């Protein structure tokens, strides 16, 4: 039988990734380089927010303490969020946003395909509902990686700089936290070793086609899965939680 505490942490981890990244992408609304991409990025943000909502609803149900999805999303402290460090990184320019998105999508896509086989029916259902959207996300970010990486000298330079900056966060999704290991034994969580090769190959293939180079620095930054975040996280939560804390009881 699965450890209830581990299951709650795992559900929060999955939901927090989407919640925080959707918040970041939402910052582009009205500021995209062209209207078409402004709308595309906003739609991806909404997709992720919808997925996060399903996880938050499930986490609230598991908590058994009359918490709502809004409590889960908006009323936790920074250390209680389990999202990857990658998703809380600033948008930067358009290139940095796209590199961040690709590094996330290239893991998220394979994770969901594996999560469909989870013995937890709720997680399996959420994964099944999300796959179509995330398939588009990966296609979108992959195409833009190639378009800008193999574009002009300026776009290539910006994409390489973004990859150099964000690569140190790329390994965290592939390193299992204790609560993930616990749930793998129960057939609930995804065993990351089963998707690692696919994730790495997808990243390498797209980066190569984009004529970019994988940074040689092997230092990888972790901690987000256990609630240890970068300095950016507090600013995200300050903005995201403002309405709910000032005007309690607001609904999505």
170-193: pLDDT as tens digits = 999 999 999 999 999 999 999 999
Other Cβ atoms less than 10 A from the Cβ of 208: the count is 13
Cβ neighbours of residue 204 closer than 8 Å, sequence gap 6 or more: 214
At 144 the three-state DSSP class reads helix
Whole-Å CA distances, 43 to 49, 133, 159, 241, 244: 10, 10, 23, 21, 23
pLDDT at 34: 75
Q: Does residue 221 belong to any structural domain of this protein? A: yes
Give domain status of residue 252, yes or no.
Answer: no
pLDDT band for position 251 (cuts 50, 70, 90): low
pLDDT digits (tens, 9 = 90+) for 46-58: 999 999 999 999 9
Q: Flag whether 170 is in a domain.
A: yes
The stretch 212-225 carries a mean pLDDT of: 92
Q: Answer yes or no: is 225 within a domain.
A: yes
Contact 250, 70 (CB under 8 A): yes
Round the CA-based radius of gyration of the chain to a whole number and report it.
18
CB 192 within 8 A of CB 176: yes
> Which of the four pLDDT bands, split at 50, 70 and 90, describes residue 1?
low
Tokens of 128: 């099944």
> Per-residue DSSP letters for 29-91?
TTTSSSHHHHHHHHHHHHHHHHHHHHHHHHHHHHH-SS--HHHHHHS--GGG----TGGGS--
* 40 within some domain: yes
Confidence of residue 250 (pLDDT cuts 50, 70, 90): low
Q: Does an H or E element contain 252, and which?
A: none
Count of domains observed in the chain: 1
Q: Using the Cα atoms of residue 50, residue 51, residue 53 and residue 58 in order, give the sign of their dihedral.
A: positive
Cα–Cα distance for residue pair 202/209, rounded to 1 Å: 11
What DSSP designation does 172 have?
G
The arithmetic mean of pLDDT across residues 162-167, rounded, is 97
| Domain limits for position 46 | 4-246
Quote the CA–CA distance of 42 and 29 in Å, as a whole number.
6
Q: What's 134's domain CATH number?
A: 1.20.1260.10
């Amino acid at each position: 039988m699965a450890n209830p505490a581990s299951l709650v942490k795992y559900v929060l981890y999955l939901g927090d990734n989407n919640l925080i990244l959707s918040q970041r992408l939402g910052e582009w609304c009205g500021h995209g380089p062209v209207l078409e991409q402004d709308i595309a990025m906003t739609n991806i943000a909404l997709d992720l927010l919808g997925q996060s909502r399903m996880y938050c609803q499930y986490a609230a149900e598991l908590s058994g303490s009359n918490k709502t999805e809004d409590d889960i999303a908006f009323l936790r402290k920074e250390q209680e969020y389990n999202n990857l460090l990658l998703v809380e990184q600033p948008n930067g320019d358009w290139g940095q946003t796209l590199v961040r998105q690709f590094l996330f999508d290239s893991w998220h896509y394979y994770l969901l395909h594996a999560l469909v086989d989870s013995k937890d029916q709720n997680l399996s259902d959420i994964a099944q509902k999300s796959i179509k959207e995330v398939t588009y996300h990966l296609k979108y970010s992959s195409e833009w990686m190639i378009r800008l990486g193999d574009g002009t000298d300026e776009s290539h330079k910006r994409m390489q700089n973004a990859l150099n900056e964000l690569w140190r966060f790329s390994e965290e999704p592939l390193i299992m936290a204790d609560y993930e290991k616990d749930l793998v034994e129960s057939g609930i969580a995804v065993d990351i070793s089963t998707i690692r090769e696919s994730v790495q190959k997808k990243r390498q293939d797209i980066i190569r086609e984009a004529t970019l180079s994988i940074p040689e620095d092997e230092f990888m930054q972790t901690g987000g899965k256990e609630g240890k975040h970068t300095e950016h996280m507090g600013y995200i939560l300050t903005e995201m939680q403002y309405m709910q804390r000032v005007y309690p009881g607001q609904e999505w």
